[in-house]
Structure 1
Amino acid sequence: MSTTEFQLIDAAVEAAGAVAGFWAASAPSVRSGLLRGLASGLEQYQAALVALADEETGLGAGRLNGEVARTAFQLRGFADEVEAGVPYQTIDDQAAAGAPPVGRPRLTRTHEPLGPVAMFSASNFPFAFSVLGGDTASALAAGCPVVVKTHSGHPRLSRAVHEVAQGVLDGMNLPGGLLGLVDGASRAAGLHLVAHPQIAAVAFTGSYQGGTALWKAANERRRPVPFFGELGSINPLIALPGILERDSEALANTLAASITQGTGQFCTSPGVIVLLDHPASDRFVAQLSAALQPIKTHRMLTPGMRNGFDAGVAHLLASDAASQVFEPLADSEGPAPRLFKVDAKAFIEDANLREEMFGPAAVVLTVESIEQATAVLHAIGGSLTATLWGFEDATDDTRALLRAARQIAGRVLFSGVPTGVAVTHAQQHGGPWPASTQPQSTSVGYAALQRYLRPVALQDAPAWALAQQGAQP
């Protein structure tokens, strides 16, 4: 990376740092006005932006228009949160006379925005997890400026969206430093951004390897900062024999569509299917194979991702513990779907068999017992989601598996498939390591803004200090 590129990163971060105090003290009307303006700006230029996004990613106009709608929706949703006073909320404990522990001073719990946030765009969501995506929206709502690191999979789109955003800022007479943009695909660029002393937090969605390198850098700083990283997930799905006896063909079709959606390039794509040894499970695998094999996929987002997927397939083909369920058809624009059977005992014992294949593929494990199914979940260790089909009745078995699923996943589904993440107050998109670095936080949903707020207790504060905080009990 050149000295000039370092200087551009420094300039963007310093511009964010210069306006951090102004934005932390900004009124709800100003913050919400910006978020709504950004949503409208995105919609105003939607046709041109979608065309550019499709050219760079190949995701298709239908998918990309839907993603713009989601991005605008969550920008307005965070504006609603700001107008409801969520980032300004306080808890006020009035003073009580007497000796401790009954007696106490007045304590007012408030929140302080962390400061400039470095946000790393994701490859697979060029709108919803990029320049104006959920990380940016939640940070701005919390009162933090943002410096966006573009992704090499859609750099021209990132620059175009940033230009739209700068137009909105100019139109509202707000400083451009509230939303900076830095290019550079190199590892050095990312590390330099994370290491900048004015960066106060980092948001990342991407690979395990890239995320862990940046996470280490954030913690090795002289002054470590929070790193909110989503590092990938294999999203186990358990289907009990009872539901497969009732509706296996429809479930197989639904699952096949989920595995191949977006050519499998979803962080919530179901990658591990756990079945009990039962005739209904055998029939389900045959139906899933029939549904998967003919599906045509579009090209993957980058050549590197395609190479990674091919390497994952080659690894399983070379493993004595794995076998192909069906012979894949010829590749279309993207890779042909793949389905493997993997020995459950080997899966539990060998971490190499649990690596994410980011693409249209899944593995099937046939377990001998509920205890072995539970062991599979614990071996996975951390996942964004876990899906449980056929858990309508409370039994010792369903209770045990639900407990294991809750321990390893951020979101547990009892119907449907995990691809598709609703933007709501109750959403949790994050899970224990290695799914994310901060499992107590979410990167989707309105609780995401809490990541960028630090609690501060004010003791016996005068009225003017509470007013300066914008405190709203």
Structure 2
Amino acid sequence: MAYTPHGNHYIAGQWIGSEPKFSSTPLTGNGYCFSRGNLELVNTAAQAAEQAFESYGYISQETKAAFLNAIADEIDARGDDITAIGCTETGLPEARLIGERGRTCGQLRLFAQHILKDDYLDKRHDPALPERTPLPRPDLKMIQRPIGPVAVFGASNFPLAFSTAGGDTAAALAAGCPVIVKAHPAHPGTAEIIAQAIHAAIEQLGLPKGTFSLIHDDQFDVGTALVQHPLIKAVGFTGSFAGGRALFDLCAQRPEPIPFFGELGSINPVFIFEQALANKTEALAQGWVQSLTMGAGQFCTNPGLVLMLAGSNADKFIATAREALVKIEAQNMLTDGIAQAFRKNSEKLASTKGVDKLEGKDIHSRQANASLLSTSAANWLENEDLAEEVFGPLGLVVLAQNSEELLAIARKLKGQLTCTIHVDEGDYEHASAFLPILERKAGRLLANGFPTGVEVCDSMVHGGPYPASTNFGATSVGTLAIRRFLRPVCYQDIPRSLLPPKLQ
């Protein structure tokens, strides 16, 4: 029997209903009623998280690792129900949900392994030098400590990997921080069943009830209250630029400002150099279109901008891309709101002066058709609107007259999650002038590939200079993400028995 959501919040071990209600908007079938959160529930969850931190923040790595592994096991145990409700709510295909569940559980297990190694604690020790002149040196020890309760916002485009038990939650729990998740209204039933998995893991390990809470809301009250609550010490967010910037500003305006780790999107430019374009024209065009339209273009690493020198090879690239795009059928978007925004922004970009619409059908209802536009490098440099992200399967080809124009675009780029170069050996000297520029623009640089697909591992960086993210020194994917929810503490001449166990 398929899982039927009950629509309640999960707060400190209890399933709690509230009024008023809102209805989910699945792609197929009828929606379910969900309780809309309020300030009282946010306060209850925050106080429970603070109380839980007094114990959860100081339990052993072994217990935290067991907790993360238990969450993964409980998610896998509910796999079929998660896939079914996730597909219904988001319109994503079954294979995508199964793969995303694997990534979600993999992230949890990766953090479990990571914290058992102790490396993330960055322990340091400068022994006392009592005989040093003119002044002696005290005994100094340093270690990373958890910061306290963390708020996490579920993402619309990843109902599992960037939502309830996604990367932000996994990193915070691994660090020792209780988490309050604001569920995304695009997939509240999926959030609920994942919260049940976390609840089961908490019960299994006997952890404090306030270690995790989930609050539903389809408006802005819960999100606003969470980031402003004095007991919340950091925020993890993946979403739109407008929503992220509004929450970032609220965090900065608090009496005690807190870090807002927002991943806000990117156009992920792809530079194709002359020899690579000449030697692999058709393959590059087909590969780009495949990456551009994957998942209806609803990835933050979607390569929406491709740049090359104008000429016969560029003409062949565009012709091949058009032919590939025509074969791609309309795809469902995650929500009606996302589809409407894609329609609006696509029309705006296509009507911009100096932009030619090469391919693209009308967009109907919740489905999106891929669009292909082109413009000159000179026009791109003069029009800042052409540098804005369009969330969906829209690609803009920029044709430059010379290398100087391409360099000018590289210099003018805003912060990105990724920048990609396609090169053959004959392009290396030319490309070497771009890398020092591009590494200042993005958190991840790629050669001869496409940015969709983010490997979850130690060396991954999923972040970048603003506006790609609000903190250029952080990542939301990979084990380095744990550093967002830790802070260094130095212990001077503290007796050994009073030190944290890892420093004794």
Normalising TM by the smaller chain, what interval? over 0.9
Relative to structure 1, is the Cα distance of residues 102 and 375 closer, same or farther in structure 2, using a 3 angstrom cutoff? farther
Distance in 2 between residues matched to 1:246 and 1:266, nearest whole Å: 29
Shift of 1:277: 2.0
2:452 is matched with which residue? Answer: 419
Q: Distance in 1 between matches of 2:302 and 2:503?
A: 42
AA matched with 2:69: R
| Mapped partners of 1:133, 1:392: distance in 2 | 39
Gaps of 5+ in 2: 1-18, 21-35
Partner of 2:439: 406
Q: Displacement, 1:413?
A: 0.3
Report the residue type matching 1:247 in the other structure: K
Task: For 2:308 and 2:270, locate their aligned partners in 1 and report how far apart those are by CA, in whole Å.
Answer: 9
In 1, the alpha carbon distance for the partners of 2:47 and 2:420 equals 44
Q: Identify which of structures 1 and 2 has the higher relative contact order when contacts are C-alpha pairs closer than 8 Å and 6+ apart.
A: 1
Identity among equivalent pairs (%): 37
Q: Secondary structure at the match of 1:222?
A: coil
Query: Is 1:245 the equivalent of 2:265?
Result: no
Bigger mean CA deviation after superposition, 245-254 or 228-237: 245-254
Q: What secondary structure, in the 3-state scheme, does the structure 1 residue paired with 2:89 have?
A: helix
Q: Which residue of 2 aligns with 1:229?
A: 262
Q: Secondary structure at the match of 2:433?
A: helix
Mapped to 2, the partners of 1:101 and 1:40 lie a distance apart of: 59
1:294 aligns with 2:327: yes
**1:471 Cα deviation from its structure 2 partner:** 2.7
Whose helix fraction is larger, Structure 1's or Structure 2's?
1
Structure 2 SS opposite 1:202: strand
The question of whether the paired residues in 2 share the 8 Å contact of 1:384 and 1:435 is answered with: yes
Is the CA contact 1:296–1:334 (under 8 Å) kept in the aligned structure 2? Answer: no
Deviation at 1:460, TM superposition (A): 1.7
Partner deviation per Cα, 1:134-170 (whole Å, 9 max, x = no partner): 1000000111000000111101110111012101111
Instruction: Note if 1:270 corresponds to 2:303.
Output: yes
Structure 1 residues 368 and 400, CA, compared in 2 at 3 Å: closer, same or farther?
Answer: same
- Map of 1:32 onto structure 2: 65
The 1:35/1:241 distance shift into structure 2, 3 A limit, reads same
Q: Give the letter aligned to residue 296 of structure 2.
A: T
Cα deviations across residues 50-91 of structure 1 (Å, max 9, x unaligned)? 100000001111001000001111100000011112344411
Distance 1:64 1:233 in 2: 23
Separation in 2, partners of 1:461, 1:119: 35
TM-score by length of 2: 0.90
The answer on whether the counterparts of 1:13 and 1:199 sit within 8 Å (CA) in structure 2 is yes
Question: Aligned residue for 1:458?
Answer: 491
Aligned Cα root-mean-square deviation (Å): 1.9
The two structures have a TM-score, normalised by structure 1, of 0.96
Aligned equivalent of 2:92 = 59
1:471 paired residue number: 503
C-alpha distance after superposition, 1:8-31 (max 9, x if no partner): 111111111111121111101110
Q: Distance in 1 between matches of 2:172 and 2:357?
A: 44
Q: 1:101 to 1:11 in 2, by over 3 A?
A: farther
Matches of 1:131 and 1:246 in 2, distance apart?
Answer: 45
* Cα drift, residue 397 of structure 1: 2.3
Report the Cα offset of residue 392 of structure 1.
3.7
Q: Equivalences for 1:426-465 in 2 at 5 Å?
A: 426-465=459-498
Partner deviation per Cα, 1:102-138 (whole Å, 9 max, x = no partner): 9522211111211000000111110000111010000
- Which whole-Å CA distance do the structure 2 matches of 1:153 and 1:240 have between them? 40
1:375-402 alpha-carbon deviations (Å, 9 max, x no partner):
2123221000001001545754211111
Q: Give ranges in structure 1 of 5+ residues lacking alignment.
A: none
- 8 Å contact from structure 1 (residues 231, 434) kept in 2: yes
- In 2, the alpha carbon distance for the partners of 1:38 and 1:404 equals 42
Query: Which residue of structure 2 aligns with residue 6 of structure 1?
Result: 39
Could you say if the C-alpha distance between residues 278 and 17 of structure 1 is closer, same or farther in structure 2, counting changes exceeding 3 Å?
same
Secondary structure of 2:432's aligned partner: helix
